[in-house]
Each structure stands twice: as C-alpha cells, then as structure tokens.
Amino acid sequence: MTASTLVSGPHIHSRFNVSRTMMAVMMCLSPATAFGLLHFGWPAVFLFLVTIAAALVFEVLCLALAGKPILRFVTDGSAVLTGWIVALTLPPWAPWWVGVTGAGIAIVLAKHVFGGLGQNLFNPAMVARAMLLVALPVQMTTWVTPIIGGPVGTDFRQALAITFGGETGIDAVSSASTLSHVKSQLDAGQPMQAILADMGSLHDQFFGFVPGSLGEISAFLLLLGGIGLILLRVITVVIPLSVLGSVAVLSGAAWLIAPDQFPPPQFHLVSGSLMFCAFFIATDYVTSPVTGLGKMIYGIGIGALIFVIRSWGAFPEGVAFAVLLMNACTPLIDDYVRPRIFGRTRAGKPIELRDMP
C-alpha cells in the first residue's frame, strides 16, 4: 500500500523481453543448426559446443571486469546467441582454438569493449568472422564434404582428434565451397556455363548437400527459420527482403548482360551465407537502423556490397565485410531517416491546414 515511489505510467508491460527475443532467434536457428551438425558429424558438434562455452566464459569475465550483475546479463541469452552464430559461420571441421578465438573476438573486442549489450557499433559475429578470415585464411577456407551423401564419416575418437588433437587428416575430404570454386574456375578462364554445368544441381545447394560453413549450407532451412522469425514478429520483413531483393536484381542484371562472366541470380541466392545473413545477421537489432525506410536503405546497401565483393573482390564471399560496412553507416542512417512526427511535416514544422486534402 505504500506506493511512495514516484513512478510514471505505464504500470503494465508486454510479454516481450530480451531473453525471450534471444530464445526465439535460437529456436528459429535450430533447424539449420541441427542439419549442419548432423551433416558434418562429431567434429562439428564439438566445435559448436566449444564456441558457445567460450562465448559464455568470455561474457562472464567481461561482466566481472565491468562490475555488472553477472547472473542477470548472462541469462539474457545474448552471449549464447553470439557464440552460436559465430560457430555457424565457421568451417565445420576447424580446430577448437578457431572457435575459441572467434568467440573471444566477438564477445570481448566487438561487444564489451564498446560497452556491452546494446552498445556495440558492429555485429560481433561478423567482426569475428572478418578477423578470422583475414588472420587464418587456411583454416577458414578448409571445407569438408557433408557426410550424408558424402564419401567419408568419422567415428567419435577420430572426431576428437580432428577438433582437439590438431589432426589434419582431412586431405581426402577437403573440397572447395561453391563460391570459391566458381571464383577460381573463372580466374582460370573457364566460361560460366561450363563451370555451372560441372557443379551439380541447384537443388543440392538449396537443400544444403554441398560443402560450406557449419550452419549456412541449407538455404531452405534458413529460409524456414527466417519466416518463423517474421511470423513471431521478432524481425520485420524489410531487411531480409531488401538484402535478397537487391542481390537478385543486381546479379540478374549482370547475368543478362554477360552470362559467361556472372552466375545467375538463383545461384547467388542459394549459395554462401546470403540466406543466413539476410535473416539472422543483417537483422541484428543493435547494429541495424530502427525505422522502416532506414532498414530498407541498410538492406539494399548490404545486398549491393555482397554482389560487388562476390563479383569483383578478392574474397569469394563478402557477407561479413558488407554487413560491417553498412553497420558503420547505421548511426548516419538513423540520424537522417526519422519517422514523421504526428501533426508535423517531415521538416518538423507544424502541418499547415491548407496543405491538407
């Protein structure tokens, strides 16, 4: 009865909260993750668990250093989600220390150095991916063919040796990802039609029976999870649509002009990390603009950069760099693109009644 606190309304709240949002994202990620783990076997499972555990440990250390309430922040689920996403972007049979380094970069450098949850300018998982890609070009581009439908399986002991023992006995199974394969063949002077004919069906790529990162191979399951996120109203449709749309439009135009130099748009859409990026990376709340129009600009920017880097860049895949570059633009977009205030014009002046219909 002693409501002596001076509090303003509202005195009721919605069910939304941070940890519920993170849980929803994880739920929608789980089909693609499960598919990846099943596909690549025990080494992938170990890598996945090690990365998430490392992310949690780094989170606790940083919170302790910053003097923040540890239990409340660790249970919000953001560190687990960051570790999860970092793991999904790694080559599935990478050694354990790649995962630990990635988690460390994401949590310490990209998140807590900026001030922790909600303060980071750049997407932590993409910072980790970009740094690993530059620092460890060999480990980050050693792909294995999936086990289901693939030639080689591993038993548990072999898997331990691969993840923790520095065992490299994977020469037999290493292969190139679709994007790097296309790139190298193009550089070798092959025409695009021949490369594509050589590569196998689009169907395999769409459902994920190709080499690639742990959680990014199945465009289909990622699309499913992304639609789930939209239906749960965790994200809006704007960013995914503008990322995928701009990639499709740009690559379609290029393909129509020079079909022997550029792969068709459907190839772009199902390959690499594009689907993962459109639904799970670019839509990160903290590092994307808040208004609808801002999100559209941001998404189109990412899509365009992805296409440019894939087509003319030194790397076969450009998702990490595209996202980071547009992250840097987010504060600017938010400053310029604002919602119109009720009863005011876009310029902030009160509406003149004569202008009204």
Kindly tell me which of 274 and 281 has the beta carbon lying closer to another protein.
Answer: 281
Binding mask 25-64 for another protein (x = CB under 8 A): ----------------------------------------
Binding mask 156-195 for another protein (x = CB under 8 A): ----------------------------------------
Residue in 108, 133, 232, 329 binding another protein, rule: CB under 8 A: 232
Kindly tell me which of 70 and 286 has the beta carbon lying closer to another protein.
Answer: 286
CB count in 10 Å sphere of residue 330: 21
Q: How far is the CB of 4 from another protein (least distance, A)?
A: 7
Name the segment binding another protein (CB under 8 A); options: 87-95, 263-271, 303-311, 338-346. 338-346
Q: How far is the CB of 70 from another protein (least distance, A)?
A: 13
Cβ neighbors of 274 (< 8 A, separation 6 or more) are 219, 243, 244, 247, 268, 306, 319
Cα separations in angstroms, 357 against 97, 199, 223, 353, 354: 65, 59, 43, 9, 8
Q: How far is the CB of 235 from another protein (least distance, A)?
A: 9
Residue in 66, 72, 172, 194 binding another protein, rule: CB under 8 A: 72
Distance, CA of 127 to chain centre: 11
- Name the residue among 320, 288, 286 with its Cα closest to residue 306: 320
Residue 350 as a binder of another protein (CB under 8 A): the answer is yes
Between CA 282 and CA 165, with CA 177 as vertex, the angle to 5 degrees is 95
Between CA 285 and CA 104, with CA 288 as vertex, the angle to 5 degrees is 70
Residue 291 as a binder of another protein (CB under 8 A): the answer is yes
Residue 339 to residue 89: CA distance in whole angstroms: 35
Cβ neighbors of 261 (< 8 A, separation 6 or more) are 186, 192, 254
Residue 89 as a binder of another protein (CB under 8 A): the answer is no
Can you list the positions of beta strands (E) in the chain?
143-144, 174-175
What is the binding site for another protein (CB under 8 A)? 1, 3-18, 20-21, 24, 72-73, 76, 116-119, 231-234, 285-286, 288-291, 334, 338-344, 348, 350-353, 356
